[in-house]
Every structure is written in C-alpha cells, then in structure tokens.
Amino acid sequence: MKGNIPTTTGKDSTTREIHSVAAKREGAAVIEILQCTETYAPIYDTLHRSLATLRKKERRRVPPLLPALHALWQLEESSTKQVGRDELAERAMRIAEVLDIPTSVVSTAFIDTLVESFGQEVSPVVAILGGILAQDVLNVIGKKEQPLQNYFFYAGDSGEGSIVYV
C-alpha cells in the first residue's frame, strides 16, 4: 500500500511509503500506528531543490542563511582561495533566484555579518543546536516520530529559530 502524508506546506509527501496502518484504543483515544519507510534525500540534492512549493508568505520568511550557506558551499567546492564578501553576496542572490525565494532576503548587512563570523564558534549556539538534534534523535529511537526532513536555522544574535521544509 502506498500513501502520501500531507505536510504543513500543503504538498503531498513523496518520501514516505506506508506499509500498514493499525488502530489501538487507549481509553477514549484511538491511536493509529503506521508502519512505513522514509526516503531521505542527500543534502547535496536538497541544495538544488526549488522552494516554489512553499506559499509566498513562507518563502519571504526563509532565512538569509539558506542561500548564503548554499553559496558558501559551492564557492568552497570550486575554489581553494578564501571566499570574498562580494563573490558570496552575488552567488547567494543567484541561489535565491534558483530556490524561488525573494532576493531581498539576502541583504548586504547579513553577508557582512556572516563573513565577519567565519571561523568563530559560539558555545551557547552549539549547545542549543545539539539539544534540538538530541530531541529529534530521542523521538526516533523511542519510535514516537519520524526524523524531520528539513533545515533548522538558528540565529544566535536574535535567539530565533526557523525551519525550512525540503
């Protein structure tokens, strides 16, 4: 049996194949137990996936770090020299266009901040990201939830976290 699970973006999931569904009653509540197989895309494949399936409002909320990281990874793959601000900004704008998100998301002020922070590690930010990852791992091990297929971005300067579904 093949099935599609609706995601929060409204699109059907093509990454999950449902093998069986069983209902279990606990008091007044009925709990459905799914036996399914998840297919995960390698991170490299997600770098080229368009975000056009997201609603317009969701695309405007995509953090500037997404196209900037994609640009940084591409530039580091293709060059041995240190990445410059102008080169990174230009590539990030092009990637924003490919991902179908507004290029206004990537500001020069953000690129300047990103370039200044190269090579730095902020312990509290690392601890927060480790906690979020551990929570997801525990949910999978406890067979409570499937692993998430998305990116999580945490802005340490503002304390905000956002999820982008891939």
- Report if residue 12 sits inside a domain: yes
Cα–Cα–Cα angle for 43, 157, 48, nearest 5°? 20
CB 82 within 8 Å of CB 44: no
139 in any annotated domain: no
Residue 79 lies in a domain: yes
Q: Is residue 7 part of a domain?
A: yes
- The DSSP letter of residue 33 is E
Q: Does residue 151 belong to any structural domain of this protein?
A: no
**Quick one: 66 and 108 in the same domain?**
yes
Residues 34 and 68 in one domain: no
β-pair partners for 22: 33
165 located within any domain: no
Decide which of 116, 140, 156 is a domain's last residue.
116
Domain of 73 in residue numbering reads as 62-116
**Higher confidence at residue 40 or residue 14?**
40
Helices within the chain (DSSP H only)? 43-46, 56-60, 65-78, 85-98, 108-116, 123-141
For residue 41, pLDDT over 60 is answered with: yes
- Number of independent structural domains in the chain: 2
User: Residue 2: its pLDDT value, please?
Assistant: 40
Same domain, 67 and 105: yes
Question: Residue 3 — pLDDT band, cuts 50, 70, 90?
Answer: very low
Whether 148 is covered by a domain: the verdict is no
pTM of the complete model: 0.63
pLDDT (tens digit per residue) in 130-152:
888 898 889 888 877 777 667 78
Q: Are residues 76 and 35 in the same domain?
A: no
Judge contact between 106 and 85, C-beta under 8 A.
no
Residues 34 and 66 occupy one common structural domain: no
Q: How far apart are CA 158 and CA 100, in angstroms?
A: 25
Question: Does one domain contain both 79 and 34?
Answer: no
- Phi/psi for 82 (5° steps) reads -70, 140
